[in-house]
């Protein structure tokens, strides 16, 4: 049929894109992950390299940092989104826009700015010194990494949660009050469950990229703190050991896919999936 041929023709560029930029790289990584460096013979060595204490500690720290960053983002974003969704005349949407605005700037530039703020001779310590208050010494620590992560990924948490709360019909909330519900009951039985899809997609959108994040760790964590993303990056660049890098990437990928599967389970409507 003519129309189906046309449809196939229109879809062709996307197919090329998916094959060229998703499927082929994935196959390449898996190939490298399961082959020996130099000899190209089959091996599990690269995968099992995760048992090396340095790699293992980096993975655990990555998961921990990603978990804390996600939790802090959620605790900051939910009350904010709730308050913003109650504002009238699109004022809430404007504030959300202000929060999202920095996302349009280069990620490295923003992290560099944060470096300037947080460093031991940086702006924040300058102000503290001027006020004769004790200075902070958080540069090159996991704390600095978490601050960087929260700063970078907060908009990804705010946007879906704000949208899900703003979507809740005022009439439904009136109806709950009408049936005798207290403010707390309205929150627990209506607003929280109805905004769950937004929470789920917010968590997914913050947790998944922050597990593999290495730029922030590089610039704010210094050489002292190694995240799994840094380890992989170094294997590919400094170490030139693509096989080991790929092996660790596959391990990381398992964690990412697992976390997404768990999240999707809680997301009854599949709304979070739509955001991805």
Partner 1 sequence: MEKDIIIDLKDISVSFDGEPVLNNINLYIRDNEFITLLGPSGCGKTTTLRIIGGFLKPDTGRVIFEGKDITDLPPNKRQLNTVFQNYALFPHLTIAENIAFGLKIKKKSKEYIKDKIKYALKLVNLEGFENRMPQSLSGGQQQRIAIARAIVNEPKVLLLDEPLGALDLKMRQSMQYELIRLKNELGITFVYITHDQEEALTMSDTIVVMNKGNIQQIGTPEDIYNEPKNAFVADFIGESNIIDGIMLEDKLVEILGAKFPCVDTGFGRNKPVDVVIRPEDVDLVEPEKGTIKGVVTSLLFKGVHYEMDVLANGYEWLVHSTDMVPVGREVGIFVDPYNIQIMHKPISEDEEASSDEE
| Residues making contact with partner 1 (CB under 8 A) | 169, 171-172, 174-182, 185, 189-190, 193-194
User: Cβ distance 213 to 227 under 8 Å?
Assistant: yes
Whose Cβ is closer to partner 1: residue 179's or residue 261's?
179
Closest CA to 220 of 134, 128, 151: 151
3 versus 89: smaller Cβ distance to partner 1 = 89
| Residue 213 per-residue DSSP state | -
Query: In Å, how far from its chain's centre is CA 197?
Result: 16
What is the smallest separation between the CB atom of 158 and partner 1, expressed in angstroms? 22
**Residue 239 or residue 268: which is nearer to partner 1 going by CB?**
268
Tell me whether residue 53 or residue 171 sits nearer to partner 1 (CB atom): 171
The answer to whether 128 touches 136, Cβ cutoff 8 Å, is yes
Here the tokens at position 237 are 């660049």
Nearer to partner 1, 129 or 269 (CB): 269
Cβ 167 to partner 1 shortest distance, Å = 10
Collect all residues with Cβ–Cβ distance below 8 Å to 230 and sequence separation of at least 6: 58, 214, 217, 218, 221
Closer to partner 1 by Cβ: residue 120 or 185 = 185
CB of 184 to partner 1, least distance (A): 11
Q: How far is the CB of 112 from partner 1 (least distance, A)?
A: 44
Query: What is the closest distance, in whole angstroms, from the C-beta atom of residue 269 to partner 1 in the complex?
Result: 9
Report, in Å, the least distance between residue 121 CB and partner 1.
53
Distance CA 185, CA 191 (A): 9
Distances (CA, A) of 266 to 72, 137, 225, 262: 20, 40, 33, 7
Please report which residue ranges of the chain form alpha helices under DSSP H: 2-18, 24-33, 45-48, 53-86, 91-100, 107-118, 123-130, 142-166, 170-178, 183-186, 192-211, 215-221, 228-236, 242-266, 271-275
CB of 169 to partner 1, least distance (A): 6
Tell me how far apart the alpha carbons of residues 215 and 246 are, in angstroms, rounded to a whole number.
18
- Measured from the CB atom, the residue of 53 and 180 that comes closer to partner 1 is 180
């Amino acid at each position: 049929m003519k129309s189906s041929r046309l449809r196939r023709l229109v879809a062709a560029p996307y197919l090329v894109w998916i094959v060229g930029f998703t499927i082929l790289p994935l196959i390449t990584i898996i190939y490298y992950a399961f082959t020996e460096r130099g000899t190209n013979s089959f091996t599990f060595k690269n995968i099992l390299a995760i048992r090396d204490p340095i790699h293992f500690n980096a993975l655990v720290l990555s998961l921990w940092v990603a978990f804390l960053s996600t939790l802090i983002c959620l605790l900051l974003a939910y009350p904010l989104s709730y308050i913003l969704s109650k504002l009238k005349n699109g004022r809430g949407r404007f504030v959300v826009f202000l929060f999202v605005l920095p996302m349009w700037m280069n990620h490295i530039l923003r992290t560099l700015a944060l470096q300037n703020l947080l460093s031991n001779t940086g702006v924040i310590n300058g102000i503290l010194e001027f006020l004769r208050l004790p200075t902070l010494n958080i540069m090159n620590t996991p704390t600095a990494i978490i601050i960087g992560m929260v700063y970078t990924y907060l908009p990804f948490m705010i946007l879906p949660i704000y949208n899900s709360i703003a979507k809740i019909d005022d009439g439904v909330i009136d109806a709950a009050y009408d049936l005798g519900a207290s403010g707390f009951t309205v929150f627990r039985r209506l607003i929280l469950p109805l905004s769950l899809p937004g929470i789920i997609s917010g968590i997914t959108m913050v947790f998944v990229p922050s597990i593999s994040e290495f730029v922030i760790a590089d610039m704010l964590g210094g050489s002292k703190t190694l995240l799994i993303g840094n380890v992989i990056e170094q294997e590919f660049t400094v170490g030139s050991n693509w096989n080991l890098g790929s092996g660790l990437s596959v391990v990381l990928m398992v964690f990412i896919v697992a976390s997404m599967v768990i999240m999707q389970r809680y997301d009854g409507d599949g709304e979070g999936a739509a955001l991805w």
